[in-house]
Chain A
Amino acid sequence: SGVAILPTSLPQLHRANMLSSGLLQNSNIHPLVSKKSKTKWHFGIRSRSYPLDVMGEIYIALKNLGAEWAKPSEEDLWTIRVRWKYSGSNQIANNEANNSQNQNNEKIPDLLKIVIQLFQIETNNYLVDFKFDGWEDSSGAPVTPSDITSDEISAFSAYPFLHLTTRLIMELAVNS
């Protein structure tokens, strides 16, 4: 095959040629770093604060962001069931119709639910976990998936959930 890689296009050779040919006026041009630090992922967010302080900070952040939550049960103080009016849905409603229904007359639920739970990993090391917990409609109407085949049951957009968790993490970061 006549397919080949042009030798003079390889970065190292190009730089050598530029230096030897005297064409280089601007000598402080350095190559982009090719070793990219791999993104290190964690579950949720870590904390070494006192557990009750962590919960207090989360409740304050949720309040500042206008979220609401169910009163925690005595036996489970470390779980918060949050409901959040998602502004994006109003916007969609305005875009597509006035009464938050789109052309196919489908309800666009606007209350995103999240479960926030505090776990102890080891002594003085805690993890705040965020889980998506479905949608509700502020009018109280049940959110029923439209009649779709079982194959498509999982066409699910995580972006509203991801967006609201970034808002909460920002609020916690700013407050702390």
Chain B
Amino acid sequence: SSVDVEQELALNAIRQVLKSKTSYDVLPVSFRLIVLDTSLLVKKALNVLLQNSIVSAPLWDATTSRFAGLLTSDDFINVIQYCFSNPDKFDLVEKLQLNRLRDIERAIGAKPLETTSIHPSSSLYEACTVMLRSKSRRVPLIDKDEETHREIVVSVLTQYRLLKFIALNCRETHFLKKPISELNIISNSTVRSCSMTTPVIDVIQLLSEGNISSVPIVNENGVLVNVYEAVDVLGLIKGGIYNDLSLSVGEALMRRSDDFEGVYTCTENEKLSTLLDTIRKSSVHRFFVVNESGQLVGVLSLGDLLRYILVGS
């Protein structure tokens, strides 16, 4: 049909843009980059993230004068799981430095976060490809100082920033009119959900084992009522209540600050053009697909959207 043809032509045009633009092009003319020295305490680093309303930051190892990977919510999830399995080591977290997080990762047998990076002058298409492979869903842009050949962390690209760039710069997104139910990109069979009374530690285990960044909360009729996100863990640690692991996920969500924008939902008839327009206007983390009764049908992550734009269904 003409909608199919338009969709395919639009996708090809968008892919051309991604191949012709570089990661450097996505950077604003003026921006800030917050970097944490690896000798900082995890607790202090958490204060810095919350104070600056960010959920991740690159690490700088001053002893080697090199980029030392990214601090992400996965690291905080590892710390909580470590405390849960070593209750006697609870006070260790008080003195834990950022450069010990890899030891915590190994202690709980978590899959290490790879620190694949790319050069700012590489294409956006390559950035998307690297990002879709990375567990952290973001990719650092690293260049070298031309005098000292030391690494420079120029910025960190996220899936959201890339999709927003596409929504802002590719007019072809208006022609993506096929309903998402026909694109085979909604995760529905594998969606793990929980109830409001599920212990928050069980939800955190789900996030970690499933390598997912959110767990939907449904009521007894399967209606979506809220979502626990990996970034919510930062508020849990900040409040020092991660040791009270009888806490329900509903109680843990009481920590959310009032500037949380809410969970975005859509139906199976939604078009990519509308979803990208929403991303252009709001800081969306993902879309939960619900039916007319509000019951959970599936989830559409930013990675799913990016993968479809890159390689199709």
Chain A residues within CB distance 8 Å of chain B: 1-12, 14-15, 17-18, 21, 23-26, 29-34, 36-37, 39, 86-89, 91-92, 95, 102, 106, 108-109, 134-135, 143, 145-146, 148, 152-153, 155-157, 159-160, 163, 166
Q: Which of A4, A21, A32 contacts B255 (CB 8 A)?
A: A32
Query: Is the contact region of chain A dominated by helix, strand, or loop, or is it mixed?
Result: loop
CA distance A67 to B32 in the complex (A): 30
* Beta-carbon contacts under 8 Å, B224-271 to A: 224-227, 235, 238-239, 241, 244, 246-248, 250-267, 269-270
- Write the chain B residue with the least CB distance to A32: B257
Hey, what's the 0/1 contact readout for B12-42 against A, CB within 8 Å counting as 1? 0000000000000000000000010100000
15 intermolecular pairs with C-beta atoms under 8 Å apart: A1-B278, A3-B287, A4-B265, A11-B257, A11-B260, A15-B254, A17-B225, A21-B196, A89-B65, A143-B147, A146-B146, A148-B146, A153-B146, A159-B60, A163-B37
- A155-B145, A156-B152 are contacts. A4–B257 as well, Cβ < 8 Å? no
Which segment of B2-10, B50-58, B302-310 sits at the interface? B50-58
CA distance A108 to B290 in the complex (A): 57
Q: Which of B226, B239, B241, B244 contacts A14 (CB 8 A)?
A: B226
Chain B residues within CB distance 8 Å of chain A: 35, 37, 50-53, 60, 62-66, 143-153, 196-197, 224-227, 235, 238-239, 241, 244, 246-248, 250-267, 269-270, 274-275, 277-278, 287-288
Closest chain-B Cβ to A107's Cβ sits at a distance in Å of 9
Closest chain-A Cβ to B299's Cβ sits at a distance in Å of 13
CA distance A133 to B278 in the complex (A): 46
Asked if A88 and B258 sit within 8 Å, CB to CB, the answer is no
Chain A residues with CB under 8 Å of B246's CB are: 25
Task: Tally inter-chain residue pairs, CB-CB below 8 A.
Answer: 181
CA distance A8 to B263 in the complex (A): 9
Chain B residues with CB under 8 Å of A12's CB are: 258
CA distance A1 to B264 in the complex (A): 12
Chain A residues with CB under 8 Å of B277's CB are: 1
Extra contacts, 6 of them, besides A2-B269, A29-B241, A32-B256 (Cβ < 8 A), are A25-B251, A31-B254, A36-B53, A92-B65, A143-B147, A166-B37
